[in-house]
Structure 1
Amino acid sequence: MNPYQFPISSAFCGVTKQARDMSTKCGQNCIWEMRKECITSLQKFTARDKSVLRELGITHILNAASGKYRINTGPEFYKDLNIDYYGVEADDDANFDLSVYFHPAAQFIRTGLQSNKGKVLVHCAMGISRAASIVLAFLMISEGLTLVDALRTVGEHRDIFPNHGFLEQLRQLDIKLENKKRSRI
């Protein structure tokens, strides 16, 4: 049985029975509920709406479209909200090497989820390629899912469209993680 059970909605919540029970409280604002913490993958508009961030209880933000000519927020933008921030200046371009951010981003998300009442917002401009790729990498690195399982898990409940370059980088990550598992046996 797949431990990732999600309610029917544009949101995806739930890893355990507790999280499933909580999903009614989570509603449309939470994208992925994980042991009472939240990973949310939304568009840039949510990331700039401080009242929504405060209402959602977001404690950590990973901006996968950071930078002066992209979604220019940053630690200063969120200083009045007491939010930890991690910015990735990624282009949504098949030739951009997003893989160098997979492990640091997964660690940031994991740290956020393990913090007291941690809720992590992962976003880019549209929430379907860069942010989705980062969340897929997190599921693979931190939760032990294969790429196929991560895509299936997320794709059953949210439309995502990582560009073909990011998918290839995720495929390479999948191969490395599988080889690492095999070498431990």
Structure 2
Amino acid sequence: MKTTVEEDYVTPGGYELEKILNRGSVAYTHVNQVWDNVYIGDESVTTDTARDKYKLKELGITHILNAARDDTTTFDLSQYFYSAARFIDKTLSDPQNKLLVHCVMGRSRSATLFLAYLMICRNMTVVDAIETVKKRRRIIPNWGFLKQLRELDMQLQETRLEQTAEP
């Protein structure tokens, strides 16, 4: 996992990111732990993790980030990247807390918001964030969200390069 700025790093294109997403992913399940104290889940008809108080208690979930609306390629999810990242970061600042990030399928919106958190708060590139999450959950951000993550990646890389160039 890279957490430092590399001058030769270039944000991959959408097709390259899609190849990374599809290469070696785990099987799809309703809820997975993707990070310390963080779970991503879906809203399946039989297992709506976010509404199943017994499952929430079993997992020890104390906080929920609900992203269960607006999964279209034209929706600007990036407007929520920083507020979601702040919420996740604040939640995880207490090691007693456990977070469920969920949407209808638990593969696009919820995954995109958590990827943005890893990029913003954990200084990961979009590639490193995807590789980290897909080890534990099958994720498939839609094309519009991938484009927004690419734009975030380019902005963050530019900011980090500027910060390292300052005397």
User: Secondary structure of the residue that 2:39 maps to in structure 1?
Assistant: strand
Paired-residue identity, %: 47
Cα displacement (A) at 1:98: 0.1
In the other structure, the counterpart of 1:64 is 67
Q: How does 1:45-56 map to 2 (within 5 A)?
A: 45-56=48-59
Are 1:152 and 2:131 matched, yes or no?
Answer: yes
Moved more, 108-117 or 162-171: 108-117
Of 65, 74, 93, the residue aligned with 1:95 is: 74
Are 1:134 and 2:86 matched, yes or no?
Answer: no
AA matched with 2:38: I
User: Secondary structure of the residue that 2:106 maps to in structure 1?
Assistant: coil
- Which structure 1 residue ranges, 4+ long, deviate > 4 Å from structure 2? none
Are 1:106 and 2:85 matched, yes or no?
Answer: yes
TM-score norm. by structure 1 comes to: 0.68
Residue ranges of structure 1 left out of the alignment (5+ in a row): 4-8, 12-27, 66-89
- Count of aligned pairs between the two proteins: 138
Cα displacement (A) at 1:137: 0.4
User: Secondary structure of the residue that 1:31 maps to in structure 2?
Assistant: strand
Per-residue CA shift, 1:36-58, capped at 9, x if unaligned?
A: xx110011210010111112111
Cα displacement (A) at 1:155: 2.0
How large is the RMSD of aligned CA atoms in angstroms? 2.3
> Closer, same or farther in 2 for the Cα pair 1:143/1:43, shift >3 Å?
same
8 Å CA contact 1:64, 1:123 repeated in 2:
yes
In the other structure, the counterpart of 1:18 is none
In the other structure, the counterpart of 1:167 is 146
Per-residue CA shift, 1:45-98, capped at 9, x if unaligned?
A: 100101111121111100001xxxxxxxxxxxxxxxxxxxxxxxx411000000
In the other structure, the counterpart of 1:180 is 159
User: Secondary structure of the residue that 1:93 maps to in structure 2?
Assistant: coil
2:137 & 2:118 partners in 1: Cα distance?
A: 15
8 Å CA contact 2:35, 2:133 repeated in 1:
no
> Closer, same or farther in 2 for the Cα pair 1:151/1:59, shift >3 Å?
same
1:161 & 1:10 partners in 2: Cα distance?
A: 12
AA matched with 2:148: Q
8 Å CA contact 1:29, 1:56 repeated in 2:
no
User: Secondary structure of the residue that 1:128 maps to in structure 2?
Assistant: coil
> Closer, same or farther in 2 for the Cα pair 1:30/1:158, shift >3 Å?
closer
